[in-house]
Amino acid sequence: MQSACRVYLAFYCLSGVTLIYYGIKTYWDINDDISSLNGNQIIESYSKTVMVLGCLTLSLYVIGKVGIKHSDFFLNFFLVLLVFVTILQCLVFYSIRKSHDDFDDILRIKLKKCIKSINNSLCREELDLIQVRLRCCGIDSPLDWTKHRREQKQDPIPASCYTKGERTCYPYLTGCHPYLYEQFSTKFIQLHFATSCAVICGLTGLFVL
C-alpha cells in the first residue's frame, strides 16, 4: 500500500508542478502580447487560479508524504483533502473549458462594440493598435468598418487598416478576429492541459488508493 502511495504521490507532485508551470507561463505570455479588448483579463484570472491550484496540490503532496513516513492520520487526512481538491480542480477545468467555448462570441461582441462606438476613444485606440500590430482590418474583413462609418460620415476605413497608416489603394484584407482568437485559444489550451492532467491524477488517486 505504501509503495503504491509513494508512486502516486510522485505523479501527484508532478501534476502540481505542471499547474504552476503553465499558470506562470500563461501569465507571462500575456505581458508579451498586445492588449486584446479585455481578453487579457480573462486569461490572467484563470492563470492565477491555476497557479493557486498548483500550490494547493503541492501542499497536499507534502501532507501525503508526511503521512506515509510518520502518521496514518496524515495519510487519511490526505485522502479526505484529495476529494475536495479534485472537485475544485474539476470545477476550474470546466470553467476554463466553458470560457474557451464562449470566448469566440465574447470577442466578436467586443469587436463590434468598438467599431460601432463613437465616444469610447479608448476602445477605438485599442482596436487601431491591434490592426496596426496584427496587420488586419475589422472583424472578418474591411467591410465591417464600411457598414458603420458611412453612417457617421467618416472615411469608410480607418488609417490603421493600411500599411504605415497611410490610405493606399488596398487595406489589409484579413479581419482581426481570427488572429485574436488563435492568440487566446493557445493560452486556453495550455490551461486546459494543465488542469486536465491534475484532474486525471486526482481521480486516479480516488479510485486506486
Using DSSP's 3-state secondary structure scheme, residue 154 falls into coil
- The CA angle 79-80-81, to the nearest 5 degrees, is 95
Stated pTM of the model: 0.83
Looking at residue 86, its pLDDT comes to: 95
Model pLDDT for residues 123-160, shown as the tens digit of each residue: 888 888 888 888 999 999 988 888 776 655 566 788 88
CB 126 within 8 A of CB 35: yes
Looking at residue 157, its pLDDT comes to: 83
- Read off the amino acid at residue 160: S
